[in-house]
Amino acid sequence: MQIHRYANAQQAGQAAAILIGAQLLRKPDSVLGLATGSSPVPTYQQLIRMFRGGVLNFSAAIAFNLDEYCHLPEDHPCSYHHFMREKFFRYVNFAAGHTHIPNGNAEDLTAECARYDQKIIKAGGIDLQLLGIGRNGHIGFNEPSDQFVYGCHVVKLTQSTIQANRRFFDREEDVPREAVSLGVGSIMNAKSVLLIATGSDKAEAVRKAILEDIDPCTQASILRTHPNVIFLLDEAAASQL
C-alpha cells in the first residue's frame, strides 16, 4: 500500500492522471475501471488535456464503470451514463463499444449484474481501477455491511449516501434508492487500484480504511490487502492519519 499526500484536490487528481497515463502508455489496450462523483473530475480534466496535447490515446483502451443508479433514465442529467459522457468520454477517443456502464434500467437486474461481471472477465479483467470513497467508507456502491459482496449486485443505498448525493438532484426524494455496483471482489481482482480522497468530509473514512480493522463496515478497508493499491489524498482527507 502506498499513500501519497498532496496540498489540494487538483494535485491529487493530476497524480492519478499521470498514473493512468503511464498505464496506457505501457499497455495501450488497458482495461480501465472508472468512477464517477466529484473525486475523479480533476483526473478526467487532466487526462483530456493529455489527450488533446497528443500525449495519450484511448483508441485501444476499454473502460468499465463501477456503478449506475437503478431506474434513472440514461439521459437523466444525474445518471452516471450522462456524467461519464459529459465529463470524459465525449472529449477523448475511446472506440465505439469500448466504454461500459451497468444498465440500471435492465428488466432483469440480476441478469444484468452477471452479464457485466462476465464482460469484464471476457475483456481480461481490470488493469487499473480508479476509485473514490464515500463518507461512510463505501467503494463503488458497496455500502457498510456485515459482509463483502464479491460480484456485481443491486445495492440499497444508505441514508448517508442518499444525503451525500442529494446535492446533484433537485429534491431528496429524487435521489434513487438503489444502484447496480461492481462487487468488492471484482474491484480487488483489478491488477492495480488508485483511490482518490479529497476534502475533510472524507478524513474519517480514510482513517478507518487505512488505520482501523479490516471490516465490511468500512468497505474500503479491504483495499489494504490488495498487492498494488495507491491512496492519493489531499491534506484535508489525510488529516486524521
Catalytic residues: 67, 136, 138, 143
Element (H, E) at 230: strand 229-234
Figure out which of the listed residues 8, 10, 11, 38 binds ligand F6R, where binding follows CB under 6 A.
Answer: 38
Q: Given the DSSP bridges, would you call strands 31-34 and 128-131 parallel, antiparallel or unpaired?
A: parallel
Figure out which of the listed residues 13, 33, 134, 137 binds ligand F6R, where binding follows CB under 6 A.
Answer: 134
Q: Is 13 in the site for ligand F6R (CB under 6 A)?
A: no
Q: Which stretch binds ligand F6R (CB under 6 A): 31-39, 87-95, 108-116, 143-151?
A: 31-39
Figure out which of the listed residues 139, 152, 222, 236 binds ligand F6R, where binding follows CB under 6 A.
Answer: 139
Q: Which stretch binds ligand F6R (CB under 6 A): 48-56, 85-93, 132-140, 230-238?
A: 132-140
Nearest one of 5, 153, 98 to 143, comparing CA atoms? 153
How far, rounded to the nearest angstrom, does the alpha carbon of residue 104 sit from its chain's CA centroid?
Answer: 16
How far, rounded to the nearest angstrom, does the alpha carbon of residue 241 sit from its chain's CA centroid?
Answer: 22
Residue 145 exposed, middle or buried by CB count within 10 Å (0-12, 13-18, 19+): middle
Figure out which of the listed residues 81, 98, 138, 208 binds ligand F6R, where binding follows CB under 6 A.
Answer: 138
Residues in 61-100 that interact with ligand F6R by CB under 6 A: 66-67
Nearest one of 72, 103, 88, 106 to 34, comparing CA atoms? 88
Chain contacts with ligand F6R (rule: CB under 6 A) = 35-39, 66-67, 132-134, 138-141
